[in-house]
Amino acid sequence: MKMEKIHILGIAGTFMGGIAQLAKAMGVEVTGSDKAIYPPMSTQLAQAGITVTLEEDVSFLKSTPDTVVIGNAKSRGDAAVEATLNVLQPYTSGPQWLAENVLHDRWVIAVAGTHGKTTTASMVAWILEYAGLEPGFLIGGVPSNFGVSARLGKSPFFVVEADEYDTAFFDKRSKFVHYHPRTLVINNLEFDHADIFDNLAAIQTQFHHCVRTVPGNGLIITPSDETNTDEVIAKGCWTPLETQGKQNADWTYELIKSDGSEFLVCYKGTNIGTVKWPMTGIHNVRNALSALAAAQNAGVIVSHAVRALSAFTGVARRMSLVGKVKAKEGGGEIIIYDDFAHHPTAIATTLQGARKQLEQQSGQLKNVKEKRLIAVFEPRSNTMRMGIHQETLPAAFKEADAVYAFIDPAWNWALTPEKFSQPLVVANRYEELVTKLLKALRTGDTVVIMSNGSFGGIHQTLLQGLRDVI
């Protein structure tokens, strides 16, 4: 049966908002609701002509949608969910809708892993676009080369960010089990999402279920040096493998610049070409290797894919420049970046990349020491709020010269300053945090703001405050 009308509960999330855009592009009438909606998703949905209402409004049922697509943030007790169930309205999950309506006849390239999914998926989509293949994609962020998080595309290829989080309140399998990829990237694997997984083994089981769906004529790409992913593959694998890493891998790299902004790519011992791009960090170099492997599997000539990466401009909220504030007197400036990092490993790699970038720019060690790296973070993920990474957080900030944190009193846990190797400043209100930063920052500082949420909008508040005081 052709689907003509859907309503999406939880439409403000990047994934569900992407579903909305894909459905609209297919000619489906789309409406949606959520408790709140902000840019960039509000902008994308408005541009697509999709109407969004507050979640308390259940009048959407009167329009008799063919199905209601329910986001995984929704649960029993939610007014819209209860109303949907009470009238026997057909409903489904976002991943299931995607699988049945978009992915069923596509060559799916899925990018999974604890870290780097959004960036790597964006790289793959851009390489295919650069090659003239016009891929479809659904990504949990906004690739700068495209300006949107989802697109139906015109080719058989569809790139999807494959999240291990659960599908919906009525389907506790990981999202990626629905996608049936022909090409699967597993970037890395760590314990995360403690609100739904009891331990690492439980996550590995879900990854193994995903591996089971990849056909024998497909490809799985993994790191060459991560035990956790090796253990997943050891559970059973019926698909060819390729690996990426510094050495002992199919895809390897040699740094030309220490910050990762320029590097040589090698495939099975043969030099393929050089990537020179605005990205930094070894993690992004390795993301690039995974993307190259996936693109080659889809038929893109590797040397052409390398040139595509040199034109890759990144993803919103992945070391995105918020702004630079130049001092009115005496020269110098303060630079502010925004990043999505919210796990100790992601925080560490983000700050390592920022530090290497400072070193690359300064050239001499004595100049580097004059430039401070200031980390500002909000541990708002469900796992963080549960205190799972509380003990490992201090080491993640090794590269920072000072750490500023927002801790909501309702989380009922605290950071221990003695465990940090640098000064730690904690605030329980966003305004208080900005005030403390304005007093402490000086020209030459690089500020990296890290959160997987909006962080109370402090990015622009801090930027404007600095313009007023320096």
Query: What pLDDT is recorded for position 366?
Result: 46
Q: Of 131, 359, 108, which Cα lies nearest the Cα of 210?
A: 108
Cis (ω within 30 of 0) for the bond into 65? no
Query: What pLDDT is recorded for position 365?
Result: 42
Question: What are the CA-CA distances from residue 24 to residues 28, 41, 308 (Å)?
Answer: 5, 15, 29
Q: Where are the domains of the chain?
A: 5-92, 105-310, 320-469
For the record, the structure tokens of 108 come out as 């799916």
The answer to whether 129 touches 145, Cβ cutoff 8 Å, is yes
The answer to whether 377 touches 347, Cβ cutoff 8 Å, is yes
Question: Is the CATH number 3.30.479.20 carried by domain 105-310?
Answer: no
The CA distance from 373 to 401, in Å, is: 5
Q: What is the Cα Rg of the chain in Å?
A: 22
What is the rounded end-to-end Cα distance, in angstroms, of the chain?
Answer: 63
Answer whether 0.85 is exceeded by the pTM: no
Evaluate whether 105-310 and 320-469 have a shared fold.
Answer: no
Query: What pLDDT is recorded for position 294?
Result: 98
Question: Is the CATH number 3.40.50.720 carried by domain 5-92?
Answer: yes
Q: In the 8-state DSSP scheme, what is residue 11?
A: T
Query: What top-level class would CATH report for the domain 320-469?
Result: alpha beta
The answer to whether 11 touches 68, Cβ cutoff 8 Å, is no
Question: What are the CA-CA distances from residue 143 to residues 165, 239, 310, 346, 419 (Å)?
Answer: 21, 29, 15, 19, 36
For the record, the structure tokens of 436 come out as 């403390």
φ/ψ of residue 387, rounded to 5: 80, 15
Q: Of 31, 47, 30, 37, which Cα lies nearest the Cα of 14?
A: 37
For the record, the structure tokens of 263 come out as 């590097």
Query: What pLDDT is recorded for position 344?
Result: 85
The tens-digit pLDDT sequence of the chain (470 residues) is 466 999 999 998 889 999 999 999 999 999 999 987 777 788 889 889 998 988 778 889 998 999 999 999 999 999 999 999 999 999 999 999 999 999 999 999 999 998 889 999 999 999 999 999 999 999 988 898 998 999 999 989 999 999 988 999 999 999 999 999 999 999 988 877 667 777 899 999 999 999 999 999 999 999 999 999 999 999 999 999 999 999 899 999 999 998 899 999 999 999 999 999 988 889 899 999 999 999 999 999 999 999 999 999 888 777 788 889 987 766 688 999 998 877 788 888 889 888 888 876 665 444 445 689 999 998 876 666 666 667 778 889 999 999 999 988 877 777 888 889 899 999 989 999 999 999 999 989 999 998 877 888 888 889 988 987 77
The CA distance from 363 to 421, in Å, is: 25
φ/ψ of residue 407, rounded to 5: -125, 115
CA 328 to the chain's CA centroid: 36
Query: What pLDDT is recorded for position 110?
Result: 98
The CA distance from 135 to 227, in Å, is: 33
Q: In the 8-state DSSP scheme, what is residue 143?
A: B
Q: What is the per-residue pLDDT across 95-125, written as a single tens digit (0 to 9) for each?
A: 999 999 999 999 999 999 988 899 999 999 9
The CA distance from 164 to 343, in Å, is: 15
The answer to whether 433 touches 406, Cβ cutoff 8 Å, is yes
Look up residue 300 and give its amino acid: V
* 3-class DSSP state of 177: helix
DSSP string across 422-459: S-EEEESSHHHHHHHHHHH--TT-EEEEE-SS-GGGHH
Query: What pLDDT is recorded for position 364?
Result: 44
Q: Nearest-5° angle of CA 270, CA 275, CA 276? A: 150
